[in-house]
Structure 1
Amino acid sequence: MKALLRVLLGALALTFALPAVAAELKLGFVNAARVLKSAPQAEAALNRLEKEFSPRDKALVEAQKALRKLEDRLSKDGATLSDAERRDLERDIISQRRDVKRAQDEFREDFNIRRNEEMAKLQKLIQDAITALAQEERYDLVLNDGAVIFASEAVDITDKVLKRLSAVHGN
């Protein structure tokens, strides 16, 4: 009975102590999706990508139009062409299809690489801004959709966990 009473008193003490500890912590939350969408740097990055890849995109569209014209010519005039002309046209179409596919793949790959580079720069910039703000305004913990973006030493228990794991490992 005494043990049960001690547990209940301990739980009661913790109930009153937790709000006091929580009141001392300054917590923050960042909606990263909104920051990525609304940051002026994000719009600037999109504009840079569009400017860089627009000429290649237009060239791809033109190559696709040229290929469609050849395919239309083959379907429309194929019956009236000589065997040699039809074979040459079919080879031309196959060759251009291959070239267009290769150009599309290269375009997609180059675009993805550049987009990832721009995103990495933007994420670093956002991380730096959050960390600076958290330090200036003395936040103890800043979260983003469940992930910790910034943690002050006041809430970081990593060393304690490592010490406990080392102690357990030694036994």
Structure 2
Amino acid sequence: MLSASAWAAEMKIGFVDTDRILRESAPAQRAGKKLEKEFDNRRQELQKLSAQGKNLQAQMDRPGVSDSDRKAKERDLIRLNQDFQRMQRELNEDLNARRNEELAGIQERVNGAIQQIANNEKYDLILQEAAWRNPRIDITDKVLRLLSEK
């Protein structure tokens, strides 16, 4: 039993806060800006459709609108709403797929940085998830610095 505790005392263990890396790292921030730029046009299209819907609703709510005009505007509003929902769903699906692609690339770079630190500093074990950890074993700042250098 003493040899097991002596062995454990000699182990060098580190911890990396993956959520913090994905929030604060330079690659994650660049990916966020890239995705925002990539999907900005589609978001603007959705905003235009939303504005058209509000405008159409306001036209229907005006006093003196004939029943035939009201019914035509209701049909247009239903069609517009369906288009809006379809476009929003497609945007969300595409954004999630691209976000997952970007996160996979970032995770690969993070793992490479962790492995480099582990090799250079002779770590025996580096964890990325734990219920609790002592702040003295947290090497997240080292990983963030290494990622910002690349």
Classify the TM-score, shorter chain.
0.7 to 0.9
Please point out which of 33, 54, 58 is paired with 1:68. Answer: 54
The aligned length equals 131
The superposition leaves residues 26-67 of structure 1 with CA deviations (integer Å, 9 ceiling, x where unpaired) of 211111122222210010000001100111111111110111
Q: 2:9 corresponds to which letter in structure 1?
A: A
Cα distance in 2, alignment partners of residues 103 and 72 from structure 1: 22
TM-score normalised according to structure 2 size: 0.80
Per the alignment, residue 38 of structure 2 pairs with: 52
Task: Determine whether 1:130 maps to 2:114.
Answer: yes
The superposition leaves residues 76-118 of structure 1 with CA deviations (integer Å, 9 ceiling, x where unpaired) of 24xx233322221111111111111111111111111111111
The superposition leaves residues 113-164 of structure 1 with CA deviations (integer Å, 9 ceiling, x where unpaired) of 11111111111111111112212222111112239xxxxxxxxxxxxxxxxx
Please point out which of 47, 72, 93 is paired with 1:88. Answer: 72
Per the alignment, residue 7 of structure 1 pairs with: none
Q: Measure how far apart 1:21 and its partner are.
A: 1.1
Which structure has the bigger radius of gyration? 1
Which fold has the larger relative contact order, with Cα–Cα distance below 8 Å and residues 6 or more apart in sequence?
Answer: 2
TM-score normalised according to structure 1 size: 0.71
What is the RMSD computed on CA atoms of the aligned residues?
1.6
Cα distance in 2, alignment partners of residues 94 and 66 from structure 1: 12
Per the alignment, residue 134 of structure 2 pairs with: none
For structure 2, the 5+ residue unaligned runs are: 132-150
